[in-house]
Amino acid sequence: MAIASVDLGGPLSGYTYGGADAVCIDDRRGPVIDGTPLELPGDGSYHAIGLAADWNVQPRGIRRSGIHSADYQRIGESIVSAAGVDPAGGDVVEVLRSDLDGDGVEEVFVTFEKITDGGGAPGDFVVIYARYPTAGGRVVDQALFEYYPQAWTSRPSIGRAGVLAIADLNGDGILEVVLWSKFWDTSLAEVFVYDGATSLTSVSVSGCSL
């Protein structure tokens, strides 16, 4: 990847939450630009990425779409149900569309979540999934991120996630997708590359979070 001068994260260390979800407590560090550590925003999450590039990093646009879609709701519910969690109370909170490979057909990215007021709890969830329309009229859905808390979280910065960026990070003309996630006072950025058909693959994870 061509994220030349920016290091978005640090090592995982020090603490394991729920037996599986590793988060940084000791020896953590935030983003670094040219060797200089930067403080994270007050909410502990990333809001941008830095890129050293001599090409157009966004040759095609990104647009928001309506969140009140029965199809998007149904797909989110099916992903959560498949994980053995009741999807009742879940809502589509963001829908983004962009043509990743320039074929004239937009891919769709949906964030579906249920967050208990005052803190995360068992039964809550955050899901991000992609939809890939095909030339034959078929649509393929892929879950990119799923989080299901196993215990009540007493901190206000509970497990959350979303799409951080959709951009051409390596100059090949195909847009990569960057997701963010945060838990307590930790944050993570994860880069996915598109295969040009019906799949995104994680290639880089920086920071520490869910």
In this predicted structure, what is the pLDDT of residue 204?
83
The residue extents of the domains of the chain are: 6-208
In the structure encoding, which two tokens stand for residue 110, read together?
């949906």
DSSP assigned state of 175: P
In the structure encoding, which two tokens stand for residue 133, read together?
């329309």
In this predicted structure, what is the pLDDT of residue 205?
79
Parallel, antiparallel or unpaired: strands 32-33 and 6-7: antiparallel
* Cα–Cα distance for residue pair 103/175, rounded to 1 Å: 12
Strand partners, 129: 110, 143
CB–CB of 181/114 below 8 Å?
no
CB–CB of 102/71 below 8 Å?
no
In this predicted structure, what is the pLDDT of residue 47?
61
* Cα–Cα distance for residue pair 23/10, rounded to 1 Å: 11
In this predicted structure, what is the pLDDT of residue 10?
36
* Cα–Cα distance for residue pair 203/1, rounded to 1 Å: 9
In this predicted structure, what is the pLDDT of residue 130?
97
Regions of the chain with pLDDT less than 70: 1-48, 117-120, 151-159, 184-186, 207-210
CB–CB of 96/62 below 8 Å?
yes
In this predicted structure, what is the pLDDT of residue 210?
52
Can you say whether the dihedral through the CA atoms of 100, 191, 150, 39 is positive or negative?
Answer: negative
